[in-house]
Amino acid sequence: MNAFWEPLILSVKLASIATLLLFMIGSFWVYVLSMYSFVGKSLLKALVSVPLVLPPTVLGYYLLISFHKEALVGSFFDQLFNVQLAFSFEGLVIASLIFSLPFMVNPMLSAIENLPVSFKESAFTLGKSKINTFLKVMIPNIKPAIVAACVMSFAHTIGEFGVILMIGGNIPGETRVASVAIYNEVEALNYNTADSYSLILLFFSILVLTLVYIFNNKKISSAKVI
């Protein structure tokens, strides 16, 4: 029984950790991109979206090379945390941070950019600092976008297959997440197990998305009361 649920628990664990970390990283990027203007801003925006168009195998390949103990990233983690990144859960988290980044940053960024400029400007004229404006004026006004961004990152990480297969090694209890487990069971001709995993993931995805949209509708209708 435990062996059956392991991949699903692992998927949820990976997606939760990645989404939480991405929220911190993503908000920082959105802050920089929305409050400052500088040379190379468009390039930075483009870089955020690169994982969207990059084939997962390309990302997996470059990650595999950089995770090697002699490479920059790999040796950093090896010496500091005594962790080998390839074939480990930590490696999956790092990979997820990269390929789900656009799903966290883009919704938040476009929502902030669509806010009336007067919000920002009136806060500045009232003497509020950039960070204060960002946290107390901009962020509260894009709550539905933040929720959407978190859900998209979560769902995308649960569904990621190509990169995880390349750098994960399909190790039970460590890197055999649900998407890889399904592939594994299909190959081993265990169609029943593959069916179970697929149906669970399908219903979970529908449930999460439905709850999010219910939440969003409540928020919008309650905001209209003012």
CB of 92 closer than 8 Å to CB of 177: yes
The answer to whether the CB of 22 falls within 8 A of the CB of 14 is no
Q: Is 225 in the site for other proteins (CB under 8 A)?
A: no
DSSP 41: H
Tell me which stretch binds other proteins (CB under 8 A): 52-60, 108-116, 183-191, 208-216.
Answer: 183-191
| Site membership for other proteins, residue 61 (CB under 8 A) | no
What separation in angstroms does the CA of 190 have from each of 112, 184, 194, 195, 196?
A: 47, 9, 6, 9, 10
Residue of the chain from 21, 54, 137, 147 that contacts other proteins (CB under 8 A): 21
Distance CA 204, CA 98 (A): 24
Q: Are 31 and 37 in contact (CB under 8 A)?
A: no
Q: Give me the torsion for CA of 119, 24, 204, 86, rounded to 10°.
A: 150
Check binding of 12 to other proteins (CB under 8 A).
no
Which of residues 117 and 187 has its CB atom nearest to other proteins in the complex?
Answer: 187
Instruction: Using the minimum distance from each CB to other proteins, give the nearer residue, 37 or 82.
Output: 82
Q: Is 83 in the site for other proteins (CB under 8 A)?
A: yes
In whole angstroms, what is the distance from residue 181 CA to residue 8 CA?
9
Question: Which backbone phi and psi does 116 adopt, to 5 degrees?
Answer: -55, 135
Q: How far is the CB of 186 from other proteins (least distance, A)?
A: 7
186 part of the interface to other proteins, by CB under 8 A: yes
Q: Is 89 in the site for other proteins (CB under 8 A)?
A: yes
Rounded to whole angstroms, the Cα distance separating 173 from 202 reads 22
Considering beta carbons, is residue 73 or 209 the nearer one to other proteins? 73
Residues 91-110 that bind other proteins (CB under 8 A): 93
Q: What residues make contact with other proteins under the rule CB under 8 A? A: 10, 13, 17, 20-21, 24, 64, 68-69, 83-84, 86-90, 93, 131-132, 135, 169-174, 184, 186-189
